[in-house]
Every structure is written in C-alpha cells, then in structure tokens.
C-alpha cells in the first residue's frame, strides 16, 4: 500500500494520509471526514492522477459524492452516502455497497449508479440521461420530473418496490419496478403512481390496482419491443446483483403511459 502525492494542492497533510494506492486502485478512508473535504479531495485526486477506479471506504452520510464529475472513472463506495449522490454527473460509474439516501442521481446527465441495497426519496429526480439500478426498495417520489434531453433517455430500475408518487410529473425516460421480493398475491405499495405524468413510460412487474394510479396515466398492452426492453434490463440487473434474469421475466408486467402531453393544460386556459 503506497501513499498518493498531489503536486498542486492545499489539502491538509492529515487529509492526504487518507488516500493510498491499494491493489492497483486508489483507496480513500472517509471516516469522520466532512463532506466538503471529501469532495475536494476526490476532485484533487481525479485531476492529478486520472485513475480508472477509486474506492471510498467508511462513508457515513457524506453528501454530494460524485456531483458534477465529467470523466470516465468508477467510484466504489463502501457505506451509506448522503443526499444527492452523483448529482449532475456526466460519465462516471458509481457503485454503492450499501444503501443510498435521498436524491441519488439528481439531474444526472450520463453515467451509471448501482446501489447494492435500498435508495431514499426522489431517487432519479429530474434525471435526463444515464442509468440507475437499485437492488432493493426505494422511497417516495422516485423518478419525479425525469426527462429526456437531446437524445438522451434516463432509465431507473428498481428491484423491490416503491412508495407513493412513483413517477410523479415524469416528462420522459423509463422507470422499471421488478417487485422481486413480493408474492404474487401482494400488490405494490405505491399510490398516486404517475400523478401529473406527461411523458416517458413506467413498467411494473406484478400486481397494481387501478385506484393506485394517477388519473393522468393508463395501462396499455405490452408489445414485443416492451418485452425486449424488459429482457435487456432484467439481464443488466441480474449482472449487477447476481440474480437469474429469467426469473425476473416469469411474471406479467403492467405498462403505464400518460394519457396526455398536457394533463393540466385546460386548468390554465381562458
């Protein structure tokens, strides 16, 4: 294990002692490190060394990790990152070996976030590109304001289930909920699904009642292209989390789309 030396840095010496080479990658120790110091240090190392992989250990709620990064690097996080993980990022891959808090992937432009656990509220908020995979469950208002931007199309894949207002005000992108830890008799938890939705598509594997849906969207029949898309993302999910992708495809899916591109257009019309 060797120390990292930065040429142009004003970081305190005790911060630099946290950064070392280990098994061909750069390793951080984030234990009790203030979130601003962690993020400044991360940017210093990326600028100076341009590593392919960085692993950050002992993460306990530090916010904004990976925010606005614009280079091809893989960041492995061991612990629980705080709010807005990967916000505005454009290119990196972030893999979390634990849970993620609120706002994961906020307005991300491209790249990938993989969470080996659950994620909090507003995961994927206003995402306009990239992919997010969550092994287990997510919180409230997940996928809110997802959109498509200049040919980019975000995709959010949830292995478990979600809380209320899933896909609220979606304007684009794809939201997939596999419900892998539910029996066939159980219905998904979320109510008010797709409230205000005016773009994009939601796919839900398993049981969803009509009263759980927002009035702005409706169920449509799954076509061959839809099943091909489910197979693609079932395979990706299985690759990330060690699952059998064929077991994901052994139940029916519900496809939900908005009924109007302007669901509230008449509300403000004279």
DSSP code, position 264? T
Domain assignment of residue 66, yes or no: no
The mean pLDDT of 102-107, rounded to a whole number, is 97
For residue 47, the SS3 value is helix
Domain assignment of residue 155, yes or no: yes
CA distance 241 to 227: 21
Report the domain count for the chain: 1
Give me the pLDDT at residue 159, please.
98
Lowest-confidence region among 48-52, 111-115, 117-121, 156-160: 48-52
Q: Decide: pTM greater than 0.85.
A: yes
Domain assignment of residue 5, yes or no: no
**CATH number, position 209:** 2.160.20.60
What is the phi-psi region of residue 30: left when phi exceeds 0, alpha when psi lies from -120 to 50, beta otherwise? alpha
CA distance 83 to 260: 33
E strands, the chain, in order: 2-3, 19-22, 25-29, 53-60, 74-80, 90-97, 110-115, 131-134, 155-158, 171-177, 199-205, 217-220, 253-258
Domain assignment of residue 84, yes or no: no
The answer to whether 216 touches 170, Cβ cutoff 8 Å, is no
Give the structural domain span for 169.
118-261
Q: How confident is the model at residue 262 (pLDDT cuts 50, 70, 90)?
A: confident
Strands 19-22 and 171-177: unpaired
pLDDT digits (tens, 9 = 90+) for 48-97: 888 899 999 999 999 999 999 998 999 999 999 999 999 999 999 999 99
Lowest-confidence region among 65-69, 144-148, 264-268: 264-268
């Amino acid at each position: 294990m060797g120390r990292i030396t930065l040429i142009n840095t004003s970081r305190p010496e005790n911060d630099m002692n946290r950064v070392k080479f280990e098994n061909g990658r750069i390793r951080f120790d984030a234990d009790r490190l203030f979130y601003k110091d962690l993020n400044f240090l991360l940017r210093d190392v990326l600028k100076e060394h341009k590593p392919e992989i960085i692993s950050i250990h002992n993460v306990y709620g530090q916010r904004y990790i990976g925010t606005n990064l614009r280079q091809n690097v893989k960041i492995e996080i061991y612990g629980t990152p705080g709010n807005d993980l990967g916000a505005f990022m454009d290119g990196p891959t972030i893999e979390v070996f634990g849970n993620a808090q609120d706002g994961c992937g906020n307005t991300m432009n491209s790249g990938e976030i993989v969470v080996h656990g659950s994620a909090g509220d507003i995961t994927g908020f206003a995402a306009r590109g990239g992919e997010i995979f969550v092994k287990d469950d997510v919180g409230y208002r997940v996928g809110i304001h997802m959109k498509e931007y200049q040919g980019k199309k975000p995709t959010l894949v949830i292995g478990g289930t979600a809380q209320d207002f899933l896909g609220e005000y979606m304007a684009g992108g794809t939201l997939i909920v596999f419900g892998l830890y539910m029996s066939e008799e159980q219905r998904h938890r979320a109510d008010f699904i797709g409230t205000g939705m005016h773009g994009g598509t939601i796919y839900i594997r398993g049981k969803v009642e009509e009263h759980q849906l927002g009035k702005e969207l409706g169920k449509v029949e799954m076509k061959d292209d839809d099943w091909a898309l489910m197979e693609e993302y079932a395979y990706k999910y299985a690759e990330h989390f060690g699952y059998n992708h064929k077991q994901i495809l052994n139940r029916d899916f519900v496809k939900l789309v908005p009924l109007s591109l302007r669901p509230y257009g008449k509300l403000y019309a004279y």
